[in-house]
Structure 1
Amino acid sequence: MHILVLGAGVVGVTTAWYLKQAGHEVTVIERQTRAARETSYANGGQVSVSHAEPWANPSAPLKLLKWLGDPEAPLLFKLRLDPAQWLWGLNFLRQCTAARARFNIRQMVNIGTYSRQRLQALREDLNLDYDQREQGILHFYTNYKEFEGAQEPARIMRELGCQRDVIDADRVVELEPALRPARHQIVGGTYTAQDESGDARKFTQALSEKAEAAGVEFLYETEVVGLEHNSSDVTGVRVIHNGSHRTLRGDGYVLSLGSYSPIMARPLGVRLNIYPAKGYSITVPVKDPKVAYEVSLTDDQYKLVYSRLGDRMRVAGTAELNGYNRDLNLQRCRAIVRRTAELMPDAGYWDQAEFWAGLRPATPSNVPYIGRTRYRNLYLNTGHGTLGWTHSCGSAAALADIISGRQPDVDFAFTSV
């Protein structure tokens, strides 16, 4: 079949790769000049099965109340006259029960573990280099209540096969000596040795080149403006390229437009509860390699993730629910710099921090949409939130199986909307 993949972020490009490997003709449509120029451009860099605890959990409502009005809060709701935001928020609160949180953890651990395996195999097969590190992910805690609250989700993850071990503060510093200046603040941690990190943009662009060499067609600077359809099928994609309107047609269509996916799906009667969660990152040159971190880190109290990308350090986090606004909030960027410099003052040139913001396609449960729609030839691979890089290879491989009429080799609640 000829499959049109809408979007060339990390999810869209991996989808195109696995579809091509399954024997399909594939065309990728992307409005930017190159792959990975939006949400995949400067994300946190973690391939983190251990980040399977959803934002919506029993402790979330009280935290949200505490964070209201705090411009530097890890999760910031900027309330708008936006029905989509309110609907998302209500569904988020419904997901905050222990039973639903456990179900969602299971989904994310399963797809995350499968995806990490597929990424490792793909890296070896194609000899990809994207500043990857296989030194695990270390969560550290500077708040006793946060540390205690992490132990039950970590236990559930271990039951599901994600070996997220609870460790004391001395072991945290032993695993990552760069945290020694902050030892007096650290109360404990968790460590997942099997997790990884790497530059999602470098990976996506390298894979797009491999895919193009294998015969995938990439139509860059081509904006998707709508889908044509009848009662049972999508019949075409309306696009604008070089100012000219045209319709592209294929046998099947994959929606991987991130936060813009619900906008494209809504006229077809396909309701996707995805809302953009604006995240921020800083990229900082390493100043002293001897005191810069080597292990990928997660600062759970501040909801920040740290990845070492060669001679650069990437620190990313926070989520701002403020519609499709992509403006940089410099206060939030500087808060990331301030926190990181406080923990590791001599590690980087903090005054040279490069700021970035991107819209992450968040569902209330944090579980993505992967699978079919009620239209025979329209498929979804979207809504991965902060875990698009983590879930990309697994969700793409699974969707390629579904499109090819095979049962995916992963236990996951695939979508049918």
Structure 2
Amino acid sequence: MARVRLDNVTKRYEDIVAVDEMDLEIEDGEFVCLVGPSGCGKSTTMETIAGLTKPTEGTITIGETDVTKLPPKDRGVAMVFQNIALFPHMDVYDNISFGLRLRKYDQEVIDRRVERASDVVQLEGMLDRMPDELSGGQQQRVAIARAIVREPDVFLMDEPLANLDAKLRVHMRTELQRLHKQLDTTIIYVTHDQAEAMTMSDRIAVINAGELQQIDPPLVCYNEPANRFVAGFIGSPSMNFVEGELTETGLETDHFDVEFDVDGLEVAPGDAVTMGIRPEDIYPVDTADSPASSSAVIDATTDVLEPMGDEIFVYLTLDGSGGGMMTSEEASNASNQLLMSVDPDSAITEDDEVRVELDRSKIHLFEAASGDAIAHGVAALSDSADSAGPATEGARAEADSGGAHE
């Protein structure tokens, strides 16, 4: 096990900056996921740690050793790639032990390490099989075992589950968590799949355009994103974003207003801000569920419904027009659209006129220009008189007066 530290690491390819002044510290025994969109620099960051790519600037330390100029074989790391890349003419035992045999370890040591690794990844009884006799998940476990026998200080995993089917990916996520607990070693894992990052990691490092945006535990990234990019990237479907202008009593947008206490915010009335609200924090009026701190009622029309089994995604239009052909991400950024999540037994249908309200305690505010976070959750005005339908005024009065949900 070892701590990994990147100090001001930059990687340039002529006029392209793949990694930009990356400062990153990963603790001994920690499971950290590097996430971000394609081309953001997460794989390049991992390759610089592995020694496959030499950084243009900066230093990389593993444990107490500066490994910036060391070759990969001397860094104490083992890597698992997206492409499983087993030797097709070798059985499982020979695939797992190949690196040890190449380094001329004693046969007794090789046998002991292969037995231990195969036990860890549950390959008992399969050591004499050929790769084409294994399932995709079993082949990936062979690749992981091949890394385990190295007994490295750090495991580097570059999208190792990307080529597996959806059901097998879920199973292998559990296997990797179990592996981490059993080995108690440092794991750095690259993925674009935020579900993998949220479920497996101790911390998530969100990267965009080569820059580290935030590194925090998964729920902190979800509930307290550092900026608009993190807020939009973490969470599926994406957070809704609405542009507006701060007023003395809250936020004014093209299609609705939200009243809240603006005191203490690092912005002033008249400033342009972006409001973010997640689909699960939008509630239909007159349902059993209600927000902790209700906004004024917003009139909308349902456009498209997406039943997901345990919930239904409802696309809302705020100006009576259809949403057209949009992805969920496009809808979340459209000025006349909101995406709401409701229970699967909801009676909402397409083209319904609905009234919804936002949970003010879950509203996020971001600076319009920089995208930096201003606030996570806003408070009701002490003398707020939000307009409300008769069915919700009682609950809203309780919330605004500091009831149990506040």
Indicate the structure (1 or 2) with the bigger Cα radius of gyration.
2
TM-score with structure 2 setting the length: 0.23
TM (normalized to structure 1)? 0.22
Greater RCO between the two (CA within 8 Å, min separation 6)? 1
